[in-house]
Amino acid sequence: MKRLIFSIIFCCVLPLSSSVSAADAKKPPDGWRYPTEKELAADDERRESSTKFARATADFNGDGISDEAYLFKSTRFSGQGLLVWLSDGKRGFNWVTLDVIDWGPKYPNVDLAMGLEVLAPGTHQYLCIEVGKDCVGKTEPRSKITIKTPSILYYRFESAASLFYWDSNKKRFIRVWLSD
């Protein structure tokens, strides 16, 4: 009898629990996929986070609804991207691409290179603000910027770091380099 009960639990309950978690996962946009466990294990630092520093959740645009930032791997080229599942406050959510790294055909199997976290609102020192592909307003000593909503801290472990914050006037993310 115990064996029959265990079989029913194993066959019926476990598939339900795994389907719930699969249903909760966001489907990446075309051309993108979630990183594999192997790709996330390349940096020892990732063990310090339950999200492996590949997902961050906060209300980035200040509309009262939580948004989610993800690091995805490309299915079309050797690369990765920083994409945000962003609420528009009324009609739902849209994918917004903030950064793409293309390693090129010479490096076909690069593990996930970047990390991300939520950076709390507040005043932060910065190196420069990105406009197009240029870093303008580079200052030493560093200037300060005050951000009123949570932002996305985006970095290479033990290397360069930037943040993306939502500019409510321009209705888009602005990239600010914290270091180079």
Distance CA 121, CA 98 (A): 19
* 83 domain residue, yes or no: yes
Higher-scoring residue by pLDDT: 147, 132: 147
Distance CA 155, CA 166 (A): 18
* 32 domain residue, yes or no: yes
Q: What is the mean pLDDT of residues 122-145?
A: 71
Tell me the whole-structure pTM to 2 decimals: 0.80
Domain total for the chain? 1
Higher-scoring residue by pLDDT: 87, 7: 87
Q: What is the mean pLDDT of residues 102-125?
A: 91
> 157 falls in which pLDDT band (50, 70, 90)?
confident
* 144 domain residue, yes or no: yes
Look up residue 41 and give its amino acid.
Answer: A
**pLDDT tens per residue, range 17-45:** 222 233 345 899 999 999 998 888 877 78
* 34 domain residue, yes or no: yes
**Predicted confidence (pLDDT) at residue 174 exceeds the cutoff of 80:** yes
Work out whether strand 143-147 and strand 172-179 pair parallel, antiparallel, or are unpaired: unpaired
* 160 domain residue, yes or no: yes
Q: Which residues pair with 95 in a beta bridge?
A: 85
Average model confidence (pLDDT) across the chain:
81
Structural domain of 150: 28-179
* 103 domain residue, yes or no: yes
* 141 domain residue, yes or no: yes
* 14 domain residue, yes or no: no
User: Which is nearest to 35 in space by CA: 21, 14, 52?
Assistant: 52
